[in-house]
């Protein structure tokens, strides 16, 4: 097997919903183990993996705020939800034999290390998967922005943005039969056309720092590996 990874260090962004599977809420144990196994295969090639997981399967700040809750408080709840997902992913990874550390942007020493950039890098160098919990630690941000920020900080070469479709389309392929998939896009295309890749804050951060984003379909098994091996699946956003 002469498969060679094209990336040395990646940041994989999973939405909270990715962990929920078909139930739409919470964490599906089979789904999370499947993802953990795929991550193990990639780390076995020598690629260092950092993870940011959303919280939308449990709690979303904007949704609660639209029903009257204070936005900042709601966002802190959303951040706590991402820590629950991070702990679930840590458990799944360790069950399949992958060493991990969770680092939280909100201090909670009993359950996770605090976020310390240089320590995160050291863990990665030792082959541990580092899971960044609690987003950026700030309300009014998203885990996509946390993923971009952490990717930059740890010197990841790419963000792998996992979705339920195999890339970015001109329109929603589930609703529009004429929708066409982009194989590459620029950051400005994404911003100008308002394409659903990542939010504008996250996209601009990647643009300013020339960090490529690969949007791919996580529901197809083996896709994380395909991206890491450089197969042209999904859509790549770069400048």
Binding stretches for ligand UDP (CB under 6 A): 15-17, 54-56, 60-62, 74-75, 78-79, 81-82, 135-136, 138-139, 141-146
* Count of CB atoms situated within 10 Å of the CB of 138: 15
Q: Which is nearer to ligand UDP, 100 or 145 (CB)?
A: 145
**Rounded Cα distance, 207 and 193, in Å:** 15
Q: Which is nearer to ligand UDP, 74 or 211 (CB)?
A: 74
Q: Which is nearer to ligand UDP, 1 or 22 (CB)?
A: 22
- Tell me which residue has its CB nearest to ligand UDP: 54
Least distance from C-beta 44 to ligand UDP, angstroms? 26
- What are the binding residues for UMP? 55, 75, 136-143
In terms of Cβ atoms closer than 10 Å to its own Cβ (0-12, 13-18, 19+), residue 104 is: buried
Residue-wise DSSP of 119-164: HHHHHHHTT-EEEEESTTSSTT--HHHHHHHHHHHHT-SEEEEEES
Q: Which is nearer to ligand UDP, 46 or 140 (CB)?
A: 140
**Rounded Cα distance, 121 and 91, in Å:** 21
- What are the binding residues? 13-16, 55-56, 60, 75, 136-143, 163, 169, 172
Least distance from C-beta 80 to ligand UDP, angstroms? 8
Q: Which is nearer to ligand UDP, 15 or 48 (CB)?
A: 15
In terms of Cβ atoms closer than 10 Å to its own Cβ (0-12, 13-18, 19+), residue 107 is: exposed
- What are the binding residues for ATP? 13-16, 56, 60, 163, 169, 172
Least distance from C-beta 143 to ligand UDP, angstroms? 3
Residues 6+ apart with CB under 8 A from 213: 158, 159, 161, 197, 198, 203, 206, 236, 237, 238
**Rounded Cα distance, 229 and 44, in Å:** 13
Q: Which is nearer to ligand UDP, 42 or 162 (CB)?
A: 162
Q: List 12's β-bridge partners, or say none.
A: 51, 160
């Amino acid at each position: 097997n002469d498969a060679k990874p094209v990336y040395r260090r990646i940041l994989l962004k999973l939405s909270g919903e990715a962990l929920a599977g078909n139930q739409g809420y919470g964490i599906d144990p089979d789904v999370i183990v499947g993802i953990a196994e795929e991550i193990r295969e990639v780390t076995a090639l020598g690629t260092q993996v950092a993870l940011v997981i959303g919280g939308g399967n449990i709690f979303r700040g904007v949704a609660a705020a639209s029903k009257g809750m204070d936005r900042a408080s709601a966002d802190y709840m959303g951040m706590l939800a991402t820590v629950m997902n991070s702990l679930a992913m840590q458990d799944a990874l360790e069950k399949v034999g992958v060493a991990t550390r969770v680092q939280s942007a909100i201090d909670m020493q009993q359950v996770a290390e605090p976020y310390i950039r240089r320590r995160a890098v050291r863990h990665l160098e030792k082959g541990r998967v580092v899971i960044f919990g609690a987003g950026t630690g700030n309300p009014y941000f998203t885990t996509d922005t946390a993923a971009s920020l952490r990717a930059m900080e740890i010197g990841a070469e790419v963000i792998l943005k996992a979705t339920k479709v195999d890339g970015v389309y001109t329109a929603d392929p589930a609703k529009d039969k004429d929708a066409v998939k982009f194989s590459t896009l620029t950051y400005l295309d994404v911003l100008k056309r308002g394409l659903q890749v990542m939010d504008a804050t996250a996209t601009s951060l990647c643009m300013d720092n020339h960090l490529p984003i690969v949007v791919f379909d996580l529901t197809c098994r083996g896709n994380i590996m395909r991206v890491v091996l450089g197969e042209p699946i999904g859509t790549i956003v770069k400048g």
